């Protein structure tokens, strides 16, 4: 029987977590509303067995999703599913609240009634903290500044009420900017690499002055596994490195790895509304309680993405590059 059910299994982070579990020899059930994308975006396709996929929508197929979980009697449910674009959430905020709050709370209300559930890992986001100075601790006050961030904060607060009232075994993870091979092509690291390789212009919002702490998806997958199997219910675990870089520095690193000229590839454009200047996470709890440490450097991660891009460029060029909104 599968110990793990992964909701949002063919998302970027979800697919790498599935790959991590399969590499460990786990049986995994994946659930996503989207059909399986091209294999170039699914690292777990390298495994011949151990994975079962169900195309089910959290907004439409909640009974079927619970049926899958109940049939498997899976003690660990890890949820990556969310409307996840920040800037785009201003256009149709109701869609973000429908998925990230209404449908998600309905899921939680059903999961809390499962006697075999040992831990539910809720993949949250640092966006709930808003723009911060210094290192952000897990008990920092929520200060969301976009519809996306508000919707995620609302679900987190609802989960806290479920934990307090029902003893719901929720564990939260919040990762800094995650990147790696197989990431969606509209994200900054693969987008910068692709623009340089095919001779297109990269638009850099606000000059790229926002500061982030980028982390390789493999390190996040390991931290997520440790949170699922060892995390204390009710605890928040930050998954972040101590390396802080601006978005501009990220682009510069990608272009340097490719031998491309910054001024020839990049065009600076206006910033997005509500974009946070910085959020830098204190990951000491994950290190202390889970024994977690990030292993891959920022430079190694950039090199990993560039190698993936070069190796699969023909296939990648044929894939959609823009974000496509699904209500």
Q: Within the chain, which residue ranges are assigned CATH 3.90.25.10?
A: 183-212+244-279+299-317
Q: Does domain 4-178+213-239 have CATH number 3.40.50.720?
A: yes
Give the integer Cα–Cα distance in Å for 192 and 222.
Answer: 26
Q: Within the chain, which residue ranges are assigned CATH 3.40.50.720?
A: 4-178+213-239
Q: Report the pLDDT averaged over residues 12-19.
A: 98
Share of the chain above pLDDT 70, in %: 97
Query: For residue 276, is pLDDT > 60?
Result: no
Query: For residue 153, is pLDDT > 90?
Result: yes
Q: How far is CA 324 from CA 34, 45, 57, 85, 106, in A?
A: 12, 23, 16, 10, 25
For the question of whether the overall pTM of this predicted structure is more than 0.85, the answer is yes
Question: How would residue 324 be classed by pLDDT, with cut points 50, 70 and 90?
Answer: confident
Share of the chain above pLDDT 90, in %: 87
CATH dotted code for 183-212+244-279+299-317: 3.90.25.10
Residues 6+ apart with CB under 8 A from 295: 218, 219, 222
Q: Report the pLDDT averaged over residues 169-189.
A: 96
Please state, rounded to an integer, the average pLDDT across all residues of the chain: 95
pLDDT at 253: 98
Angle, vertex CA 136, rays to CA 301 and CA 252, nearest 5: 30
Least reliable range by pLDDT among 68-72, 222-226, 256-260, 322-326: 322-326
Question: How would residue 278 be classed by pLDDT, with cut points 50, 70 and 90?
Answer: low
Neighbour tally for 321: CB within 10 Å:
15
**More confidently predicted of 108 and 279:** 108
Angle, vertex CA 187, rays to CA 181 and CA 192, nearest 5: 80
Return the HEC string of the chain: CCCEEEECCCCHHHHHHHHHHHHCCCCEEEEECCCCCCHHHCHHHHCCCCEEEEECCCCCCHHHHHHHHHHHCCCEEEECCCCCCCHHHHCCHHHHHHHHHHHHHHHHHHHCCCCCCCEEEEECCHHHHCCCCCEECCCCCCCCCCHHHHHHHHHHHHHHHHHHHHCCCEEEEEECCEECCCCCCCCHHHHHHHHHHHCCCEEEEHHHCCEECCEEHHHHHHHHHHHHHHCCCCCEEEECCCCCEEHHHHHHHHHHHHCCCHHHHEEEECCCCCCCCECEECCHHHHHHHCCCCCCCHHHHHHHHHHHHHHCHHHHHCCCCCCCCCC
Query: For residue 325, is pLDDT > 90?
Result: no
pLDDT at 53: 98
Question: How would residue 274 be classed by pLDDT, with cut points 50, 70 and 90?
Answer: low
Query: For residue 273, is pLDDT > 80?
Result: no
pLDDT at 143: 93
pLDDT at 323: 85
pLDDT at 277: 58
Neighbour tally for 23: CB within 10 Å:
14
């Amino acid at each position: 029987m599968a110990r793990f059910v992964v909701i949002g299994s063919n998302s970027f982070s979800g697919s790498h977590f599935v790959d991590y579990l399969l590499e460990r020899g786990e049986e995994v059930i994946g659930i996503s509303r989207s059909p399986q994308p091209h294999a170039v975006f699914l690292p777990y396709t390298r495994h011949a067995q151990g994975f079962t996929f169900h195309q089910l929508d959290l907004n439409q197929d909640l009974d079927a999703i619970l049926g899958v979980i109940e049939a498997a009697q899976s003690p660990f449910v890890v949820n990556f599913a969310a409307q996840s674009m920040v800037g785009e959430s201003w256009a149709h905020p109701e869609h973000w609240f429908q998925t990230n709050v209404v449908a998600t709370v309905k899921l939680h209300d059903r999961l809390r009634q499962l006697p075999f559930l040992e831990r539910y890992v809720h993949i949250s986001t640092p966006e709930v903290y808003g723009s911060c100075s210094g290192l952000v601790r897990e008990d920092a006050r929520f200060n969301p500044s976009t519809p996306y961030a508000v919707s995620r904060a609302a679900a987190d607060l609802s989960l806290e009420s479920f934990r307090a009232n029902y003893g719901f075994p929720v564990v939260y993870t919040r990762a800094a900017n995650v990147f790696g091979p197989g990431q969606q092509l509209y994200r900054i690291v693969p987008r910068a690499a692709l623009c340089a390789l095919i001779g297109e212009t990269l638009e850099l919002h606000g000059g790229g002055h926002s500061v982030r702490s980028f982390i390789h998806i493999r390190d996040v997958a390991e931290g997520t596994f440790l949170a699922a199997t060892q995390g204390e219910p009710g605890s928040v675990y930050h998954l972040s490195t101590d390396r802080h870089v601006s978005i501009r520095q990220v682009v510069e690193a990608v272009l340097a790895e490719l031998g491309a000229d910054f001024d020839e590839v990049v065009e600076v454009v206006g910033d997005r509304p509500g974009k946070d200047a910085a959020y830098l996470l204190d990951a000491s709890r994950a290190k202390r309680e889970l024994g977690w440490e990030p292993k891959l450097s920022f430079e190694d991660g950039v090199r990993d993405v560039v190698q993936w891009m070069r190796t699969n460029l023909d296939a990648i060029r044929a894939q959609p590059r823009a974000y496509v909104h699904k209500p």
